[in-house]
Structure 1
Amino acid sequence: MSTYIYAITGAGHPLPLEGLHGVGDPPSELRTVSTDRLTAVVSDAPPGLRAKRRDVMAHQHVLEALMAGGATLPMRFGLVGPGDDEVMAALEREADAYEERLAELDGRVEYNLKAGRDEDDLLREIMTQSDEIRQLNERTRAQGSHDDRVALGELVAREVTVRGQQEAEDVAQRLADAASRSSHAEPAPQQFLNLSFLVPRAETEAFVAAVQREADQRGDAYSFTLTGPLPPYSFV
């Protein structure tokens, strides 16, 4: 049977798994696959597993229990290996890399920041600051051809993209000193930023305060959504 993988820890890591169960219906029994350096917490992988709330929460509870005892490499929901032997072989083969990553994550958690800007506010700024776009917009409104309207749409779309990238870089740079590392992901439509930060546990309050200051400085036209603390999925 395939093996469902929850997390990887050091071989001496506490394993407070009593009272917990794995994914599936009925819930699977948790077990470990260990080498002399590393341990993977696993269970049988149920057939047809989907991201139902029951199973997602079972996965999350295992991670929370392990992270309370120290550095843990959390696996994303749904990671399945061919079997225990293959999991053990991977632990042995990648031992140096896993131990290096565990050392990096020790005492740290993840925060995810998403940011967007009101579209009308951004368009007003573009019209104010770009003579080319403003003039083309005025010509289009007066007697513009189809080609003018297409050109205007392309210019505005390009400017929106460029300004979004610039603002994302600016936010990332301004918050860089408050975190150990960051990891970019593709932002959703209407957002210019989707950024995860690796933050020392002892400095989480300072990090949250830094994000709040950034949001306050940018004003009501911006929306900042901060989620965390989370298992450091983006840095595994």
Structure 2
Amino acid sequence: MSTYVYAITGATHPLRLDGLRGVGDPPSPLRTVRTEALTAVVSDAPPGLRAKRRDVMAHQGVLEALMADGATLPMRFGLLGPDDERVADVLGQEEPAYRQRLAELDGHVEYNLKAGRDEADMLRAVLAGSERARELNEVTRGGSGTHDDRVALGELVSHEVAARGEREAEDIVTLLGASATRVTVATVGGNHFLNASFLVPAAHTAAFVQAVQAEADRRGGAYSFTLTGPLPPYSFV
């Protein structure tokens, strides 16, 4: 049977696993795979495992309990090894990298921030800032514009929206990044112009959340800020 891997910790982590439930139905008992310097928290992998709420919550519960007691490298849901022996081999092979990352993550949590801007508000800003966009908008709305004018307007607006979003994302990351140890920026989707994760010292989470709220308030109702956390630092493993 394959080995399901929840997390990696240092060998001195207290590993209080009593009362925690693993994935599967019935829940798989947790155990450890150890080397001299590292420990992996694992269980048997139930056949046909899928991301059901019960199992996702069990995985998350193990991570939260481990993180509360010390530095932990959280594994994403569904990570499997062929068996305990292979997991131990990987721990040994990657020991320097794992130990370095554990030191970096010690005492930190992750926050994810997604930011977007109302489409109509962004369009008004583009027209206010681009004379060419205003000219093309006027002729197309007045009915005298050609097909090429409409295409040119669409391309210009798309370019300006993307450029403005990138600049605003950079400004927000620079501002909030001052309160974080590390930042990683992911691909955006939908109406968002920013999707960033911040590695924040656990002792400074209140100040970070306040900084996010202050920036959201400063930008006003045309902007939407969605902050999720504290989370296990998946984005920095």
* 3-state secondary structure, aligned to 2:104: helix
TM normalised by structure 2 equals 0.98
* 3-state secondary structure, aligned to 1:234: helix
Q: Give 2:210's aligned amino acid.
A: A
- Mapped pair 1:229 → 2:230: yes
Q: Deviations over 1:68-116 (max 9, x none)?
A: 1110000011111121111111100000000000000000100111100
Q: Which residue of 1 aligns with 2:200?
A: 199
The answer for unaligned runs of 5 or more in structure 2 is none
* 3-state secondary structure, aligned to 1:68: helix
Q: Which residue of 2 aligns with 1:130?
A: 130
Runs of 4+ off more than 4 Å = none
Q: Which residue of 1 aligns with 2:39?
A: 39
Q: Which residue of 1 aligns with 2:147?
A: 146
Q: Give 1:124's aligned amino acid.
A: R
Q: Deviations over 1:37-94 (max 9, x none)?
A: 0000011111221111100010011011111111000001111112111111110000
Q: Which residue of 2 aligns with 1:99?
A: 99
The answer for unaligned runs of 5 or more in structure 1 is none
Mapped to 2, the partners of 1:188 and 1:170 lie a distance apart of: 19
Q: What is the CA RMSD across the aligned residues, in angstroms?
A: 0.8
Mapped to 2, the partners of 1:157 and 1:82 lie a distance apart of: 48
Identity %: 70
- Mapped pair 1:53 → 2:56: no
Mapped to 2, the partners of 1:169 and 1:120 lie a distance apart of: 22
Q: Which residue of 2 aligns with 1:171?
A: 172
Q: Which residue of 1 aligns with 2:11?
A: 11
Mapped to 2, the partners of 1:26 and 1:225 lie a distance apart of: 36
Report how many aligned residue pairs link the two structures. 236
Q: Which residue of 1 aligns with 2:28?
A: 28
Mapped to 2, the partners of 1:38 and 1:188 lie a distance apart of: 38
Mapped to 2, the partners of 1:29 and 1:150 lie a distance apart of: 61
Offset at 1:146?
1.6
Mapped to 1, the partners of 2:219 and 2:106 lie a distance apart of: 33
Q: Give 1:204's aligned amino acid.
A: T
Higher mean Cα deviation, 78-87 or 37-46?
A: 78-87
* 3-state secondary structure, aligned to 1:178: coil
Mapped to 1, the partners of 2:68 and 2:28 lie a distance apart of: 22
Q: Which residue of 1 aligns with 2:121?
A: 121
* 3-state secondary structure, aligned to 1:98: helix
TM normalised by structure 1 equals 0.98
Offset at 1:24?
1.0
Mapped to 2, the partners of 1:149 and 1:43 lie a distance apart of: 59
Q: Deviations over 1:143-179 (max 9, x none)?
A: 1122211111111111111111110000000111111
Q: Deviations over 1:120-155 (max 9, x none)?
A: 001001011100111111122221122211111111
Q: Which residue of 2 aligns with 1:212?
A: 213
